[in-house]
Amino acid sequence: MTGAGQMRREHGMDKLIAALEKKSQEIRGTVLDMCINAGTGHVTSSLSATDILVTLFYGNILRHDPKNPTWAERDRLFISKGQASPLLYTILADRGYYDRADLKLFAQKKGRFGVHMQKTVPGAEITCGSLGQGFGLAAGSALAAQMNRDLYMVFSLLGDGECHEGSIWETAMFASHKRLNNLVAIIDRNYQCVTDFTENIVALEPLEERWASFGWNVKRINGHSHRELLDALTGYRSRRSTRPLVIIADTVKGNGVDFMSCVPLWHGIAPKDGEAARAREELKRRFSDG
């Protein structure tokens, strides 16, 4: 099918993608600044997942209301990799859940939030940081929706290293058995844990086959492509499948800051002094190059 309608849609899509790219760049800058300011925070874990969460929050995917964070019909987002809290906090502030000024007090005295995600932050849903847990809670929420015939969708953002946890696979097995097709897992596949690359520690691949064998619909995409993210998530609310959906989003940990991005030991660390300036510079250069 071609024609003016499709062209308009494509034009609209291009505009949306351009806007998402701009937003991702802005969010990355804020994440980096707040972690440098605090002297702590999981910078690289946040930068790998930025495009994923920006697509959810700004790509008309997630149904939510910043003025009413506990709105019963909202889509649930259970971030299971609670290390990405600087990212989520930045986005929630930007979307108006609370004042942007709160970000300046990240992990500091009288601040409202710290290094790992906490449920007391409006929009954060759960306390997380101990891995393998948010995903199981998400399955419980999805099951409750089925029991109550509620229409909200449940998203869960997983780390790939988190998939070493047995509880992830207990949940995966349960969710497909119960046909929780209202559950969408997105794996931030950045290939890195704290001390090494996942494939050197305990190999996760073939990850697609593993999830498929657990009864899930699997899509594997470039997790830094807003177009691919939008494609993968389009129609998620009306998928004609009884299976839960997992999107394996290949990403780069620390994406945007090259000197941090292929070094596992940058996990959980904010750059200081000269490295902070260099990180800001690299981020700026990377995205202004297009």
Partner 1 sequence: MANTTQRDAFWTRIYEMARQDRDIIVVSEDMGAPALDQFRTDLPGQFVNVGIAEQIGLLLGGGLAFEGKRPFIYAIAPFVTLRCLEQIRVTNAIMNIPVTLVGVGAGFGYEDSGPTHHLTEDIAVMRAFPNITVHSPADGVCARAIAEMSRTWPNTNYVRLDRKPMPEIYPPDADFSRGFSVLKSGRDGLIVSTGVMTHTALEVAGVLEKKGKQLGVVDVFQIPTQEDGLAAALKDAPRIFTVEEHFLPGGLGSYILEILNTRKMAIPVRRIGLDHAKGYCYQYGGREVVHEYYGVHPAGVQAAIESELR
* H-run or E-run covering 45: helix 43-58
Instruction: Tell which one of 143, 204, 212, 276 touches partner 1 (CB under 8 A).
Output: 143
Q: Is 20 or 139 the residue whose CB approaches partner 1 more closely?
A: 139
Residue 142 makes contact with partner 1 by CB under 8 A:
yes
User: Taking Cα atoms as reference points, which of 84, 68, 73, 82 lies closest to residue 123?
Assistant: 68
Sign, CA dihedral 45-46-48-54, equals positive
Q: How far is the CB of 89 from partner 1 (least distance, A)?
A: 18
Segment near partner 1 (CB under 8 A); pick from 2-10, 138-146, 227-235, 249-257: 138-146
Residue 141 contacts residue 93 (beta carbons within 8 Å): no
Q: Is 58 or 135 the residue whose CB approaches partner 1 more closely?
A: 135
Residue 132 contacts residue 168 (beta carbons within 8 Å): yes
Residue 149 makes contact with partner 1 by CB under 8 A:
no
Size of the site for partner 1 (CB under 8 A): 28
Segment near partner 1 (CB under 8 A); pick from 99-107, 119-127, 211-219, 241-249: 119-127
Residue 38 makes contact with partner 1 by CB under 8 A:
no
Instruction: Tell which one of 130, 195, 213, 242 touches partner 1 (CB under 8 A).
Output: 130
Q: How far is the CB of 253 from partner 1 (least distance, A)?
A: 24
Instruction: Tell which one of 137, 187, 218, 257 touches partner 1 (CB under 8 A).
Output: 137
The Cα–Cα gap between 115 and 82 comes to 9
The Cα–Cα gap between 85 and 272 comes to 19
Segment near partner 1 (CB under 8 A); pick from 12-20, 52-60, 132-140, 243-251: 132-140
Residue 88 makes contact with partner 1 by CB under 8 A:
no
The Cα–Cα gap between 169 and 107 comes to 32
Q: 60-99 in b/e burial notation, b at 16+ Cβ within 10 A?
A: ebbebebeebeeeebbbbbbbbbbbbbbbbbbbbbeebbe
Instruction: Tell which one of 170, 208, 258, 275 touches partner 1 (CB under 8 A).
Output: 170
DSSP state of 242: S
Tokens 């939008």 belong to which residue? 230
* H-run or E-run covering 278: helix 273-288
Q: Is 175 or 230 the residue whose CB approaches partner 1 more closely?
A: 175
Residue 140 makes contact with partner 1 by CB under 8 A:
yes
Segment near partner 1 (CB under 8 A); pick from 85-93, 104-112, 163-171, 194-202: 163-171
The Cα–Cα gap between 126 and 104 comes to 22
Residue 245 makes contact with partner 1 by CB under 8 A:
no
The Cα–Cα gap between 241 and 21 comes to 31
Segment near partner 1 (CB under 8 A); pick from 85-93, 103-111, 145-153, 218-226: 145-153
CA atoms within 13 A on the CB side of 120: 5
Residue 63 makes contact with partner 1 by CB under 8 A:
no
Q: Is 82 or 254 the residue whose CB approaches partner 1 more closely?
A: 82
**Binding positions for partner 1, rule: CB under 8 A:** 119, 125-128, 130, 132-133, 135-145, 147-148, 166-167, 170-171, 173-174, 178
